[in-house]
Amino acid sequence: MDIWPLYLFHPGAVTVNFAVNILTRCRITPLPGTRIHLKSIDTQREEEFPSFDALCSARRYRHPLAAYLLRFFAPEGGIEIETNSESPAGAGISGSSALMIATTAALARFTGRKLDREEIRVIAQNVEAQLIRVPTGCQDYYPALYGSVSAIHLDVDGIHREAIAIAPEELDRRFVLAYTGVPRQSGINNWKVFQDHLNGKARIYKNFENIGAIARSMHQALALADWNEIARLLREEWKLRKTNSPRITTPAIEKLIKIAMRNGAVAAKVCGAGGGGCIVLLTDPEAQERVTQTLRSYGGHVLPATVSRDGLTISGKAHKSNFGV
């Protein structure tokens, strides 16, 4: 729904999300001379270039996210970029989007460019599209920018973020985030659905209309803290989502959801476009621990996640010292 121009065909489009405290970080250090050093701590990949021109001339990168953003910002002199993400690779919880936001913001500060949050989002989204070579959705970047719970309104005059006034503690008591250990191919699934929509497939168009209606109702239910309605809408959305593409789910996901629902979960869905990765489960507060232990006993990796109250933070000065995001 959040991929341009699909939301323009569904007036009133909105997506609802919340940020979790699984963090990404970027640290930039100026280096003497023209040397460029790129390092990803979580993937244990690093590479070095003698100059910015050499980086631009390279055909492949071991740390493509940092390399592509460097090509856009074109900093002067030597530089080291060190990134780290706590999100499991391919988990579907916007780890790459959060890292894009962190690195974009850090490079903007380092190069002295004054960007507001929406400008940071546009650059991060567009560069990620260059990386994965398919259209990207916008909503994944907002949790990293703002934290907390958000409604992202997708309008003709632009994209607008609205904070939803619900106590984060209530969500903390009710959701479980579990990783199946299976990477997903979100971009491929998104691209297939995107093509089907633009090709006029009536089933896909109708699904988007229904998903849009569910999202608007979810916005209202969250604002009222109506947990029974939230659970019903989450179940309905996941049911509809799976009809868009058979690759949105996997046997591992279906197994864990089925087991969790038998042991106290009231709703569940995959995070992102699917194909593996993480699932988020809604439970009654008294069942949260039982669901957690059950998932672990069946091989699910439960992530220690709570709602992140904060979004993007930046420290340090342009060109003068080490700093991080």
Residue 200 belongs to domain with CATH number:
3.30.70.890
Same domain for 319 and 295? no
How many degrees, rounded to 5, is the angle at CA 272 between CA 271 and CA 277?
60
Say whether both 175 and 115 belong to one domain: no
Residues 197 and 269 in one domain: yes
Q: What is the pTM of this model?
A: 0.90
Please give the pLDDT value at position 165. 93
CA torsion sign for 59, 61, 64, 70 is negative
pLDDT for 246 equals 66
Residues 188 and 137 in one domain: no
Residue 16 within any structural domain of the chain: no
pLDDT at residue number 188: 52
- pLDDT at 316 (0 to 100): 77
Domain contains 171: yes
The answer to the question of residue 67 being in a domain is: yes
Domain that holds residue 237: 167-302
Q: Which of 117, 150, 121 is nearest to 19 (CA)?
A: 150
Q: Does residue 266 share a domain with residue 188?
A: yes
Which pLDDT score, from 0 to 100, does residue 322 have? 37
**Residues 6 or more apart whose Cβ sits within 8 Å of residue 241:** 207, 211, 248, 269, 270, 274
Residue 17 lies in a domain: no
Q: Which residues of the chain have pLDDT under 50?
A: 184, 319-325
Rg (Cα) of the chain, in Å, rounded? 20
- Structural domain total, the chain: 2
- Residues 99, 176: one domain? no
Residues 174 and 281 in one domain: yes
CATH of the domain at 96: 3.30.230.10
For 35, counting Cβ atoms within 10 Å of its Cβ (0-12 exposed, 13-18 middle, 19+ buried), the class is middle
Residue 177 lies in a domain: yes
Asked, for residue 15, whether it belongs to a domain, the answer is: no
Check whether residue 192 and residue 107 sit in a common domain.
no
